[in-house]
């Protein structure tokens, strides 16, 4: 089964896709967060045969949900209704900062999504 990782942002949304075995996450795409996003997500979910979605949770330095988290919660609800596949949450504290260490491009949202997804996959695979 493949997984889709999402780094949700107010302006851009980064995506990552796992390998078929759900072991490794790979940066996939960055899309503008606009009205075209649901259709683009649908294309990727269908093309990659995604079985589960992992969305990064956004928190502040105290570990509390920040202002963006309300948008993320609403986004997750829409994903669950539209795609009817499991949507999981994974903490994503400073993933964009970490992604910039490894990726010199201006937009690192897809690399941050890969970090979020890889953290989830690692935890999942340890339990198995």
What is the per-residue pLDDT across 61-80, written as a single tens digit (0 to 9) for each? 777 777 889 999 999 999 99
What is the rounded average pLDDT of the residues 11-18?
96
pTM of the predicted protein model: 0.87
Structural domains present in the chain: 2-127 (3.30.420.140)
The C-alpha torsion from 98 through 78 and 42 to 32, rounded to 10°, is: -50
Please tell me which residue, 91 or 103, carries the higher pLDDT value.
Answer: 91
* 59 DSSP 8-state letter: B
Task: Name the pLDDT band for 92 (thresholds 50, 70, 90).
Answer: confident
Task: Name the pLDDT band for 126 (thresholds 50, 70, 90).
Answer: confident
Measure the CA–CA gap between 95 and 56, rounded to whole angstroms. 9
Question: Residues 96-125: pLDDT tens digits?
Answer: 555 455 555 556 788 899 999 999 999 998
């Amino acid at each position: 089964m493949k997984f889709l990782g999402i780094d949700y942002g107010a302006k851009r949304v980064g995506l990552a896709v796992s390998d078929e075995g759900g072991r490794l996450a790979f940066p996939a795409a960055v899309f503008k967060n606009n009205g075209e996003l649901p259709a683009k997500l649908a294309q990727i979910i269908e093309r990659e045969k995604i079985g589960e979605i992992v969305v990064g949770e956004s928190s502040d330095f105290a570990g509390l949900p920040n202002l963006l988290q309300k948008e993320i919660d609403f986004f997750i609800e829409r994903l669950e209704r539209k795609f009817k596949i499991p949507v999981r949450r994974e903490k994503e504290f400073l993933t964009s900062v970490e992604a910039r260490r490894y990726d010199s491009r201006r937009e690192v949202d897809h690399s941050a999504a890969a970090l979020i997804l890889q953290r989830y996959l690692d935890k999942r695979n340890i339990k198995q």
